[in-house]
Amino acid sequence: MRRVVCPGSFDPVTNGHLDIIGRTSRLYDEVVVAVLINVEKKSLFTVDERIQTLEAVTREYGNVRVEKFYGLLVDFCKQQGIPTIVKGLRAVSDFDYELQMAQLNYRMSGVETLFMSTNPEYSFLSSSRLKEIARYGGDVSGLVPELVRQMLVERLRG
């Protein structure tokens, strides 16, 4: 069975994330979406909320499983028996950072990283920008799943 991990904080999940997850699900037998538990970062949504949301919006794929992890991604990969990480790249600035991480991950564990270019329709999306737009009353329809849009409105605008 060909397995791969798509890691991230997903705070919140965007249509750009779903584009990468969906395209990856067509290439692999199982896609594990790994939600990072980062105690240093102030998140808008709890880890459990992010997991429940991801499970709901990826249900249609059938071969996607959502898990949480803490610590090094390569340790999670070893524990889960996953040899490959897939990362979406929006721009050259993403590549600089992700290439360094990929090289470190490979040196530490032999886990490969594959880069998938983001659909140009979503190349400008980031969770932090979406939260800012929603916080100030902007419309994020079409940028996030409807469930996420509703959650953002409730959390940020009460």
Q: Per-residue pLDDT tens for 69-107?
A: 999 999 999 999 999 999 999 888 889 999 999 999 999
The domain that holds 80 is classified in CATH as: 3.40.50.620
In a domain, residue 83? The reply is: yes
Answer yes or no: is 61 a known binding residue.
no
Q: What is the mean pLDDT of residues 18-47?
A: 94
Distance CA 4, CA 73 (A): 12
CA distance 89 to 30: 21
Indicate the number of domains in the chain.
Answer: 1
Residue 69 lies in a domain: yes
Catalytic residues: 17, 41, 90, 127
Question: Under a CB-based contact definition with an 8 Å cutoff, are residues 10 and 17 in contact?
Answer: yes
| pLDDT score, position 138 | 93
Contact 18, 25 (CB under 8 A): no
Residue 154 forms part of a structural domain: no
User: Domain for residue 155, yes or no?
Assistant: no
Which domain does 20 fall in, by range?
3-123
- Residue 19 in any domain: the answer is yes
41 appears as a binding residue in the annotation? yes
Angle at alpha carbon of residue 143, lines to 13 and 122, rounded to 5°: 90
Output the pTM of the full model. Answer: 0.94
93 annotated as ligand-binding = no
- Does residue 130 fall inside a structural domain? no
| pLDDT at 40 exceeding the cut of 90 | no
Is 81 part of any known ligand binding site? no
